[in-house]
Amino acid sequence: MAGHSWISSLSHISLLLLILSSSSLAAPNSPWMREARSRLAKSSQLSGSLSKRFTNGSCDTAGPEDFKAPKANVWSGLTDVEAASVTKWLFRMSGLNLTNSSKAGEWDNTLLLVELNVPNKTDVLPYIDGNASAPERWAHAVLDMRASEDPVLADILVGPLPIDSATTWMPLEYPYTKKSGGKTRNLDADSGLSYEFRCNISATIADITMDLWGGTAMCKKNDSLSIWGIDPVWQYDGRVTRWVQFWNYPTDEFDALTLLPLGLYFKTDETGRDPSAWKLEGWLYNDVFYPTTAEFRSAYFSANFTKLPPNVAGDWSGTDRRGSELPMDALPPPQAVRAGPARYSVDQEAKYVEWMDFSFYIGFTRDRGMALYDIRHKGQRILYELSLQEALAHYAGGDPTQSGTAYLDTFYGFGPYAFELVPGYDCPAYASYMNTSFYIDETTHTHINSICFFEFDADYPMQRHSTGTYVANTKNVYFTVRSVSTVGNYDYMFSYEFYLDGSIKVTVRASGYIQSAYFAANEDYGYQIHDALSGSMHDHVLNYKADFDILGKANSFQMTTFVPTMETYPWHDRPRNTMRVNRTMLKSESEGKIFYTGNGATQYRVVNTDKPNKYGEYRGYRILPSDGTCHLTVQNSSNLEAAVHPFTHDLYVLRQKDTEPRSCHPYNGFDVYDPMIDFSEFFEDDESLEQEDLVVYFNLGMHHLPHTGDLPNTVFTTAHSGVQFMPVNYYEGDVSRETRQMVRVDYGEGKKAEVKTFGQDEVKCELDMSSMEEGKDLSGYVGDVVIRKFPYDPNDPYFETDSIS
Amino acid sequence: MAGHSWISSLSHISLLLLILSSSSLAAPNSPWMREARSRLAKSSQLSGSLSKRFTNGSCDTAGPEDFKAPKANVWSGLTDVEAASVTKWLFRMSGLNLTNSSKAGEWDNTLLLVELNVPNKTDVLPYIDGNASAPERWAHAVLDMRASEDPVLADILVGPLPIDSATTWMPLEYPYTKKSGGKTRNLDADSGLSYEFRCNISATIADITMDLWGGTAMCKKNDSLSIWGIDPVWQYDGRVTRWVQFWNYPTDEFDALTLLPLGLYFKTDETGRDPSAWKLEGWLYNDVFYPTTAEFRSAYFSANFTKLPPNVAGDWSGTDRRGSELPMDALPPPQAVRAGPARYSVDQEAKYVEWMDFSFYIGFTRDRGMALYDIRHKGQRILYELSLQEALAHYAGGDPTQSGTAYLDTFYGFGPYAFELVPGYDCPAYASYMNTSFYIDETTHTHINSICFFEFDADYPMQRHSTGTYVANTKNVYFTVRSVSTVGNYDYMFSYEFYLDGSIKVTVRASGYIQSAYFAANEDYGYQIHDALSGSMHDHVLNYKADFDILGKANSFQMTTFVPTMETYPWHDRPRNTMRVNRTMLKSESEGKIFYTGNGATQYRVVNTDKPNKYGEYRGYRILPSDGTCHLTVQNSSNLEAAVHPFTHDLYVLRQKDTEPRSCHPYNGFDVYDPMIDFSEFFEDDESLEQEDLVVYFNLGMHHLPHTGDLPNTVFTTAHSGVQFMPVNYYEGDVSRETRQMVRVDYGEGKKAEVKTFGQDEVKCELDMSSMEEGKDLSGYVGDVVIRKFPYDPNDPYFETDSIS
């Protein structure tokens, strides 16, 4: 996430929301907007139909079908009616003194969020595993309580739903280690004033910015410069200190702001809510610090002052096609197609999916975006929850803004930035989609087609074996659910893949614009990649939660390590240099912070020791980093302090507790010495990890040292990280043997080859490739569809979005 | 590679060859054999045609076209005429005293191999980079000189070609560290007699084998048991010691021999060529060693002897479909199709390929299979050579056969086992293919369609970026060249992938049957996975050569490491915990053995420091392990001794020398204390690595701890390893910006989305899916097509294969 402070006079949070709401919304009555609404209103999904013969004629790819989840989805979010009723109810609580966000100033309280409070696992299991009724529904709301010298963001619960006379609200505190009544201080309460403060400072050197870059940042509409900087702000000694940098706005239509640093920085003390008490504390240019503006001005206008060049947008910073034509590139490349109906079932309303022997429910929250729940294989739960927790992008640099940057992206939220996916690009042309919603400013915004589902035939098989007399070969057809969130400059592509052998792969890939550094004094932190630009080194570390339930809740964590050894055997008279397997179990949480061993020597498994297989081996799932990952390089980060703990190791194993549902809070950066969730505290009670309900947190990460190939955008082929969950001794054999998508060819000995296809249908039909083109028709691409929550009219929920901003 | 000694009375090497030649060859005059010949005779390839509009109507996927490599392929092997003439010439050398292999006994000399001697880089560069003529062609032959008390395998050179009066032969010695005139001892010269020796021992306990397993191994046609064991054989104290085990033959058509160990072992001393001097040295059963047959018999027939169960083939060991039907699996899954002509060019004769801005030549050898040469991007060479060197499968176990097994698979050879690929399974249905050839028994065998080429559109894009006003997205279309070699029980799938961003990925995946252990006393070395079966722990370590030439031959090796640090800056009054990049260069070969650093902290790059980019950064290619890899766990392996050195580290950096063309010799296992190539000696001269011609050897590896999911076969989804070569600061920006396969959608602000497609053709045609089915028609699947080299008749090269065995 890069800063987005080029729009002044709004709070940091509102700023980000405005980006979403201001530019991507259409006039409500345009024809294509009606089309978009119609896509929203009805399910656009295909679900599989029963087997059909695929004979000559047109391929039949259609076939939507009624399909119902076995249970209601208790994680999928509030209905529009629920959210509206909670919003209305909270606005009536006079003690909260809420103001409509469109009218609120710095000293008004607003309602930042209304969404489902994800129910406790303890309350859910009797429902999904038994005959108990569904758990009570409660709303989770966030209040931005700014009408105070000490502004706070307050997590509260409202419920039970539906709203009636018994409805109450209470502070939401139990998931947090900080015992503050669910409140954290809001260091951004005056971010609009803060930007004005910066403009005023900038104005004092407008002659210099004009001289250096031909532009100014004065909080005017024609500003050609932006001023933003570190995140989180410095919080030591009880002060609030900011470092900010000047940036060039792109002069074209591309989003290259984060490639255009200008290398002039200043530091402010913005402690407290009285802007008149805020102070400028100095300037930095070309690695020289000037404590006052006078000193900076004096130096600047001295004879020997070195002026450095700006970074300016150009062809190099746009993503459009450029350069020489590639040979034969005018011909269409191969593409994946589906010549028959979808082979999976989606209950759009319940957000429930079945593919082959897998099933799962989908949840979606503002902070963390898509989450999967109750992932089962062959009817048996493997994971209760599999979800992103937080994405850290920790930078370093020779300048204070890069050095001081450690984005915790749930602050911005993965939900609001899960844009519509691009068919044929983000997902195959034949993919199915699901919508997602998020709450902003008393409205529910819907991103159409922001989760996709598709089957794919990998470019390599699942299994093969050749001999002199036969060859056997099985297709590797897998199923993917995917969402993409673009948090500012970076696009995170989140994929969950399901395989015929029972394995599950979690992948994150990164593209989009790097946040770069001005090149002065940055040699130890990056390559110079353009005229005055340095690729700013940073670690992406994405923390995930994997709540395994292997044959029930009581699980253990086994480590199996390949070790070199010298052994003596009864069958030989001298010792032998060989290797063996050491098996150990984690005993308690004090052992639960894990670095992957060197050379990949250790295999990590969640097992159930009470339910061994018939050979006495523990059934379980292995956790295998499959795609290059890492934890955070920085030790005892000065930027994150106590908020760093979820990122310092590769794996964490903990006992599941309803009071520890997640590793991070979106406002952890507002109080880094005492964050809402201090993940390290989860380990302090040192609970047993032997046959307990275990939760594994794992990190996917990338050390990114941007180079010229990252211009204009980082490419997915190089920025990726993944982990695979594999059944190990879980089944009696390889379950991919169940698929028909295999072949055996017996050949040789003078005979014509004999081909066994195991009941596969031969696809003999004409596929209209135009239907694939239509599948990726992008003319209806749309931003948000907005449903107002307050005031809410269920008969006309859509409204003209210009009215809210 | 598992042992294959179930056919008795032939040498070990001939045995393997017989497997290839005996069962997979057809009667030469059958109709489908004529079809196979016709496929062999003419190019079956498509190369791309120029751009066409794809309008309504049938999709045009055809279009073979003349395409010629810019230079002759100096690595592609001998012509049939060359190989035949060398064979004929050598048979006339009376001093060699060669006997036709079909008639040869243990004391006859035979000609094991005739193929191209890969020319020296020094001799090739003036040709491929300049106007020099092609280097002289020399044949590399291997003589099996068994007419001696000290049998040797001799590498010789024959040339220059074509054969004329000036032709000579000489020992091939310069590529080997062992200065033995190109000769290594042959410990398998009497392998047929050795198997008879084992049968005779087995016969002495036939009552016991009948009692335990209902079968015998007596070198008879109806043997139901096989006896084979360690590889390499033990060589300490100047003796040749073998440990062998009884195995059950499968009772069905599947190749599950290596899943059927029986847990009875014996040890022999087979030093020297006189079988009458060979000795039985003891028996092992259930972890108890019996020095003599009498002691074993006595124990066996005692009252308290524990008899353990056998492993017997069954449904569990076959690969056919079994188990419950998967939902909707009767419907056809998605598949990749090509609705237009191929977008790459293949010169079948020169084995030269161009795709987009990449080009390369293909070489193929008996030992190492497919190799790529002169890999260029945008006309500039990136790699002179990229090739597999050796594949080690190092086992460990509580029994002597598993403990003693460390297959060096080039002994068996990757060339002869590169079987025909299965269209639609090993490669997409629309892939193009190339044939490969290998020499056996005075004949050239051709595996039809054993290398495939295809473009593929990944299930995720190359690049994307969303904003509130536009989304930009680029397809990730890549090009793959692939071969599969099944060396006994294991199928290795070798892929080289080329990407639009200039990166290259090398992947190996493993499937097929594991070699397993009998379960007694194996707890520390594997899981119990079936009734009397243990999954035998093993390390796969595949050594590759990557001869980089970055902007010329003079290159350096840079390591760039993310390190945590505490730093003090001019802009802050207290130290900060952050990170920085340390850059170092390898100075000389003594620093050239590299373990990957923990947490992926270090980036490894081949750079050219003489040719920095305009910002002063070194242009280069990064070497990134991308898919989980490892080096050998065992330290100072008792099995491999001095032959272990290429497998002990992750990366090796050396100065390129014509006298060090490869890291391993296929017969290294015949003299493990003094192998033909002792890789460690390459480092002893400690040559400079600064701006020299560098060669990188890297290992791809997998720690494999087989579990029930490996039954019947290991699946590719879990057994894989890869490395990626990425341009870093090599180009001025991301070169994938050159493709047309991208889109930008401008949207929002009440407007209908505007879609820019950058000249992409929309594909509007009907694709006959039957053509995809035909593309994977397997009824013509064929084993080898054989061309006799001696006597050779160029007008009728095919012959009835029964005549040779």
Contact B763 A772 (CB under 8 A): yes
- Interchain contact, A705 vs B562, CB within 8 Å: yes
Q: For residue A567, give the H/E element and its range.
A: strand A554-567
Dist. CA B761–CA B781, nearest whole Å: 36
Structure tokens that stand for B521 in this block: 């006393």
pLDDT in tens, A755-801: 999 988 788 888 988 887 777 778 888 766 666 666 666 655 554 33
| Residues in contact with B284: Cβ distance below 8 Å, sequence separation at least 6, in sequence order | A570, A571, B264, B265, B266, B267, B290, B399, B400
At A264, which helix (H) or strand (E)?
strand A261-269
Q: Compute the nearest-CA separation of A658 from chain B (Å).
A: 32
Query: Within 10 A of A168 (CB to CB), how many other CB atoms are there?
Result: 9
- B326 vs A616: CB contact, 8 Å cut-off? no
* Stretch among A111-115, A735-739, B18-22, B335-339 having the lowest mean pLDDT: B18-22
Neighbours of A302 (CB within 10 A): 8
**B158–A contact, CB cutoff 8 A:** no
For residue B67, count other CB atoms closer than 10 A to its CB. Answer: 18
| Residue B38, pLDDT score | 47
pLDDT at residue A293, rounded to an integer: 98
The 3-class secondary structure across A113-176, one letter per residue, is: EEEECCCCHHHHHHHHCCCCCCCCEEEEEEEEECCCCCCEEEEEEEEEECCCCCCEEEECCCCC
The confidence score (pLDDT) of residue B772 equals 79
> Rounded to whole angstroms, how far apart are CA atoms B46 and B345?
8
Task: Say if the Cβ atoms of A528 and B615 lie within 8 Å.
Answer: yes
Residue B659 has pLDDT above 90, yes or no: yes
Cα angle: B800, vertex B803, B805; to 5 degrees: 125
Q: Which of B417, B463, B766 sits opposite A715 (nearest CB)?
A: B463
The 3-class SS string of A604-631 reads: EEEEEEEEECCCCCEEEEEEEECCCCCC
Name, in order, each residue with C-beta under 8 angstroms of B249's C-beta and a sequence gap of 6 or more.
B6, B223, B224, B225, B226, B257, B260
- pLDDT band at residue B779 under the 50/70/90 scheme: confident
Regions of chain A short of the pLDDT cut 70: 1-56, 62-65, 750, 783-805
Which tokens sit at A396? Answer: 């370093």
pLDDT reading at B235 higher than 50 = yes
Residues 6+ apart with CB under 8 A from A774: none
B287: contact with A, CB 8 A cutoff: yes
pLDDT tens-digit series, residues B665-724: 999 999 999 999 999 999 999 999 999 999 999 999 999 999 999 999 999 988 899 999
Task: Give the closest-approach CA distance of A545 to chain B in angstroms.
Answer: 20
Instruction: Give B600's strand partners.
Output: none
Compute the distance between CA of residue A304 and CA of residue B341 in angstroms, rounded to an integer: 64
Enumerate domains of chain A plus CATH numbers.
4-34+70-185 (3.10.450.40), 191-317 (3.10.450.40), 344-738 (2.70.98.20)
CA distance A243 to chain B (A): 10
Contact A571, B265 (CB under 8 A): yes
Instruction: Tell me what the mean pLDDT of segment B444-453 comes to.
Output: 94
Percent of chain B with pLDDT over 90: 82
Q: Of A190, A409, A441, A678, which residue is the catalytic one?
A: A409
CA distance, residue A143 to nearest chain B CA (Å): 26
Give dist(CA A115, CA A413) in Å, integer.
Answer: 13
Give, in order, the Cα–Cα distances in Å from B257 to each of A676, B247, B317, B318, B709. Answer: 60, 7, 9, 11, 18
Which DSSP state fits A233? Answer: P
Distance (Å, whole) CA B358 – CA B377: 4
Q: Which of B22, B269, B316, B321 to mutate to test the interface with A (most CBs of A within 10 A)?
A: B321
The pLDDT of residue A17 = 35
Q: How far apart are CA B209 and CA B225, in angstroms?
A: 9
Q: Does A755 touch chain B (CB under 8 A)?
A: yes
Please answer yes or no on whether B457 and A333 come within 8 Å at the CB atom.
yes
Whether A108 has its CB under 8 Å from any CB of chain B: the answer is no
pLDDT over threshold 80, residue B791: no
pLDDT of residue A338: 93
Instruction: State the first-to-last Cα distance of chain B, in angstroms, to the nearest integer.
Output: 23
- Per-residue confidence (pLDDT) for residue A356, from 0 to 100: 97
Produce one character per residue of B389-422: b if its CB has 16 or more CB atoms within 10 Å, e if not.
bbbbbbbbbbbbbbbbbbbbbbbbbbbbbbbbbb
Average pLDDT in the B459-482 region?
96
Taking an 8 Å cut-off on Cβ atoms, the answer to whether A337 and B335 are in contact is: yes
With beta carbons under 8 A apart, name residues in chain B contacting A338: 334
Give the model's pLDDT for residue B2: 39
Name the residue of chain A whose CA is nearest to B781's CA.
A753
The answer to whether the CB atoms of B708 and A732 lie below 8 A apart is yes
CA dist., res. A619 & res. A554, Å (int): 12
DSSP 8-class letter at B477: E
Find residue A264's DSSP bridge partners. A285
Q: Are A137 and A167 in contact (CB under 8 A)?
A: no
Q: How many residues does chain B have?
A: 805
* Catalytic residue list contains B123: no
Angle at B685 between CA B684 and CA B691, to 5 degrees: 120
Average pLDDT in the B518-528 region?
Answer: 98
The pLDDT > 70 percentage for chain B reads 89
Which residue among A395, A478, A490, A667 is the active-site one? A490
Per residue in B264-322, pLDDT tens? 999 999 999 999 999 999 999 999 999 999 999 999 999 999 999 999 999 999 999 99
The amino acid occupying position B184 is: T
More confident position, B425 or B778: B425
Contact A527 B729 (CB under 8 A): yes
More confident residue, B11 or B83: B83
| Res A51: pLDDT | 38
Handedness of CA A560, A563, A567, A569 (dihedral sign): positive
Q: A174 near A194, Cβ under 8 Å?
A: no
B409 is catalytic: yes
pLDDT in tens, B179-208: 999 999 999 999 999 999 999 999 999 999
Q: Can you give the pLDDT at residue A793?
A: 63
**B241-248 and B225-229: which strand pairing?**
antiparallel
Q: What is the mean pLDDT of chain B?
A: 91
Spatial separation of the C-alpha atoms in residues B405 and B261, rounded to whole Å = 14
Q: Give residue B480's Cα distance to chain centre.
A: 16
pLDDT value at residue A28: 40
Residue showing tokens 């993503």: A319
> Do β-strands A751-756 and A742-748 pair in parallel, antiparallel, or remain unpaired?
antiparallel
* CB contacts, 8 Å: B524 with chain A: 580-581
Q: Tell me which residue in A24, A32, A729 faces B469 most closely, judged by beta carbons.
A: A24
Tokens of B552: 């010329």
Nearest to B604, CA basis, from B590, B591, B613: B591
Give the per-residue pLDDT at B491: 97
Write out pLDDT tens, residues A788-797: 666 666 655 5
**A-B interface: how many C-beta pairs under 8 angstroms?**
716
Supply the pLDDT for residue A794. 60
Choose the mutation target among A20, A562, A777 for the interface with B, i.e. most B CBs under 10 Å. A562
